[in-house]
């Protein structure tokens, strides 16, 4: 049964009271239905690491779907069931989610290559997991509530700060675990254990990464780039030879590290300055990684990762346009606000931050900073409706006038609604005259 100890005091210290109450209710319902119920995985790991995590995964020894439906009905919430996998999600009003999995009581078909071990169903469920630190379970049924169940040395490895697999074929079974190991290692400041590290090296050497489907590979890379600080994990990917097999020319040399560190700096600047504007920071790192590839290799990597067509096009577009804009800035370092606005406005903030990280020029960085702080949300006060009220005949000329007013506003040439209106009139006249001029020219010829 593995080692057990009661950790209700850790629960009380780490979790909000209503979550503890929820765990108790899950256990009580299990008891009523004659099922054993456990909270498992990352939730328990993070509990012991004192890291906030309310993604609750539970395993039911019994029928997870019956359990979820009964719980949902009693609590007046929704349960989304996946019959095929015998899993369900309990969806609470306040965004809280509980994933319910079934540890079947019947016989398990296990890959022939693995030693046949007779397990209880919880133990079997946990044995299929990636690392020992993710195999801890917490009993929820009333008479054993709060008991920590540790079959595979998860507590020891948390104490030793070690990422270890459960058996030697783990990476053969699922090569994405190579990237997961690297991600967890860096996230928690742990170290991949010696034996596990040599299993990773071996797995990379015998080409297991090559066997991974593009989308799964991309998904794992994306997850690494979404971590708080992905740079050490990328370095580790290079050390384990993972980057090299994805694309031989994606290397992690001093220049690459410099680019990624610049990205990190630029991202923290942005996040501090614009706290409430969400950013897909992984995208900036991803651009950083790809940016140093020769064109042909870029195509190969995008192919390898099976990126959607629109994503490929956006990446190619970004690199091309960023180069263009940086070239323009080099030729004309001191541009007017309207020119900076026009140059940067087609880009997403992530792409501009990538540009900011790749340039060494202080004046370009300053221009970008001004764009974010001052220009990007500027709008003329008058609208098409106002032009109509002024008696200007509607047509394509409206867009032209409003754009010119925006430029004037950005450059500080107009500062009020009245000044905008006066400019609109002047522009409309000019357009009208130009139109008539053209007409008389046509008539004259
Ligand atoms: P995160 O905070 O990144 O979500 P997590 O540990 O909760 O971390 P998930 O990816 O949500 O990770 O996975 C939930 C659980 O499922 C993990 O704790 C792990 O035990 C198990 N798991 C996920 N992916 C794998 C895999 N490839 N092989 C084995 N077990 C896995």
Per-residue confidence band for 116, with pLDDT thresholds at 50, 70 and 90: very low
pLDDT in tens, 401-441: 999 999 999 999 999 999 999 999 999 888 878 776 555 44
Q: By C-alpha distance, which of 412, 344, 399, 404 is closest to 376?
A: 344
The contacts of residue 382 (CB under 8 Å, 6+ apart) are 402, 405, 417, 420, 421, 424
**Structure confidence at residue 79 as a pLDDT band (50, 70, 90):** very high
| CA 42 to ligand 1 center in whole angstroms | 7
Instruction: Choose one of 39, 40, 41, 51 to mutate for the ligand 1 pocket test, by most ligand atoms within 8 angstroms of C-beta.
Output: 41
According to the model, what pLDDT value does residue 330 have? Answer: 87
Question: Starting from the edge strand earliest in sequence, which strands make up the sheet with 36-40, in order?
Answer: 3-6, 147-150, 137-139, 36-40, 56-61, 97-103, 87-91, 78-82
Q: How many CB atoms lie within 10 A of CB 370?
A: 15
Q: Assess whether pLDDT exceeds 80 at residue 287.
A: yes
Please tell me the predicted confidence (pLDDT) of residue 444.
39
How many CB atoms are located within 10 Å of the residue 282 CB?
A: 17
Confidence at residue 31, expressed as pLDDT on a 0 to 100 scale: 97
- Tell me the C-alpha to C-alpha distance, in Å, between residue 412 and each of 374, 375, 382, 428: 12, 11, 16, 20
Contact predicate 100/86, CB 8 Å = no
Distance (angstroms) between ligand 1 centre and the Cα of 48 equals 16
The 10 Å Cβ neighbour count of residue 62 is: 19
Ligand 1 pocket, mutate which of 38, 40, 42 (most atoms under 8 A from CB): 42
Q: Give the model's pLDDT for residue 247.
A: 79
Mean pLDDT to the nearest integer, 154-171: 97
List 402's β-bridge partners, or say none.
none
Specify the range with the lowest mean pLDDT, choosing from 67-71, 129-133, 304-308, 389-393: 389-393
Measured in Å, residue 203 CA sits from the centre of ligand 1 at 20
Q: Looking at ligand 1, which atom is closest to the CA of residue 53?
A: 2
Q: How confident is the model at residue 111 (pLDDT cuts 50, 70, 90)?
A: low
Q: Compute, in angstroms, the gap from residue 166 CA to the centroid of ligand 1.
A: 14
**What is the structure's pLDDT at 276?**
84
- Helix 362-370 crosses helix 349-358 at what angle (to 10 degrees)? 160
User: If you measure from the C-alpha of residue 379 to the centroid of ligand 1, how many angstroms do you get, rounded to a whole number?
Assistant: 46
Confidence of residue 345 (pLDDT cuts 50, 70, 90): very high
**So what's the pLDDT on residue 445?**
34
Alpha-carbon gap, residue 269 to 274, rounded angstroms:
9
Q: Given this model, what pLDDT does residue 114 score? A: 47
Residue to substitute in 51, 134, 163 for testing ligand 1 pocket (most ligand atoms within 8 angstroms of CB): 134
- What mean pLDDT is reported for the chain? 91
Give the distance, in angstroms, between the CA of residue 32 and the centroid of all CA atoms in the same chain.
40
Q: What is the pLDDT of residue 441?
A: 47
For residue 130, report the distance from its CA to the centre of ligand 1, in Å: 7
Give the binding-site residues of ligand 1, using a 6 Å CB cut-off. 41-42, 55, 129-130, 134, 174, 176-177, 180
Q: In ligand 1, which atom is closest to the CA atom of 131?
A: 20
- Give the confidence band of 117 by pLDDT, cuts at 50, 70, 90: very low
How many other C-beta atoms are found inside a 10 Å radius of the C-beta of residue 200?
27
Ligand 1 geometric centre to CA of 123 (Å): 16
Q: Is 175 helix (H, G, I), strand (E, B) or coil?
A: coil
Q: Separation of 59 CA from ligand 1 center, angstroms?
A: 14
Closest ligand 1 atom number to CA of residue 183: 3
Q: For 23-42, how does the pLDDT look when each residue is reduced to its tens digit (9 = 90+)? A: 999 999 999 999 999 999 99
Mean pLDDT of 70-89: 94
The pLDDT tens digits for 187-197 are 999 999 999 99
User: What percent of the chain lies above the pLDDT cut of 90?
Assistant: 78
Q: At 136, is the secondary structure helix, strand, or coil?
A: coil
């Amino acid at each position: 049964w593995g080692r057990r100890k009661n950790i209700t005091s850790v629960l009380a210290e780490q979790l909000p009271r209503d979550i503890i109450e929820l765990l108790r209710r899950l256990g009580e319902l299990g008891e009523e239905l004659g099922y054993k119920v456990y909270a498992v995985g990352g939730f328990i790991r993070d509990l012991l690491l004192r890291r906030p995590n309310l993604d609750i995964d539970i395993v039911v020894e019994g029928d997870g779907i019956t359990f979820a439906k009964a719980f949902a009905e009693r609590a007046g919430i929704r349960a989304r069931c996946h019959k095929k996998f015998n899993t369900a999600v309990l969806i609470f009003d306040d965004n809280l989610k509980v994933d319910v999995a079934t540890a079947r009581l019947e016989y398990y078909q296990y890959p022939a290559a693995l030693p046949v071990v007779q397990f209880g169903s919880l133990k079997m469920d946990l044995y299929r997991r990636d690392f020992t630190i993710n195999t801890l379970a917490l009993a929820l049924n009333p008479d054993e509530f709060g008991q920590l169940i540790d079959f595979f040395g998860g507590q020891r490895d948390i104490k030793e700060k070690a990422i270890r697999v459960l058996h030697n074929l783990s990476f053969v079974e699922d090569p994405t675990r190579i990237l997961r190991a690297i991600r967890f290692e860096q996230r928690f400041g742990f170290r991949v254990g010696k034996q596990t590290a040599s299993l990773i090296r071996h797995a990379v050497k015998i080409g297991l990464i090559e066997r991974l489907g593009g989308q799964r590979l991309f998904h794992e890379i994306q997850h690494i780039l979404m971590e708080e600080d992905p740079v050490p994990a990328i370095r580790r990917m290079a050390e384990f030879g993972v980057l090299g097999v994805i694309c031989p020319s994606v290397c992690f040399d001093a220049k690459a590290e410099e680019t990624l560190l610049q990205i990190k700096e630029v991202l923290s600047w942005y996040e501090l300055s614009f706290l409430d504007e969400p950013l897909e920071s992984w995208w900036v790192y991803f651009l950083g990684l790809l940016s140093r590839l020769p064109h042909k290799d870029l195509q190969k990597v995008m192919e390898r990762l099976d990126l959607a067509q629109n994503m490929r096009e956006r990446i190619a577009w970004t690199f091309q346009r960023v180069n263009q804009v940086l070239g323009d800035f080099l030729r004309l370092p001191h541009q007017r606000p309207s020119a900076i606005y026009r140059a940067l406005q087609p880009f997403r903030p992530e792409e501009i931050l990538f540009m900011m990280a790749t340039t060494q020029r202080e004046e370009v960085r300053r221009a970008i900073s001004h764009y974010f702080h001052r220009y990007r949300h500027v709008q003329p006060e008058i609208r098409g409706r106002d032009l109509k009220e002024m008696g200007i005949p509607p047509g394509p000329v409206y867009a032209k006038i409003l754009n010119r007013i925006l430029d004037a506003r950005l450059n500080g040439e107009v500062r009020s609604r009245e000044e905008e209106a006066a400019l609109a009139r002047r522009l409309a006249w000019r357009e009208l005259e130009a139109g008539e001029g053209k007409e008389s020219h046509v008539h004259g010829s």
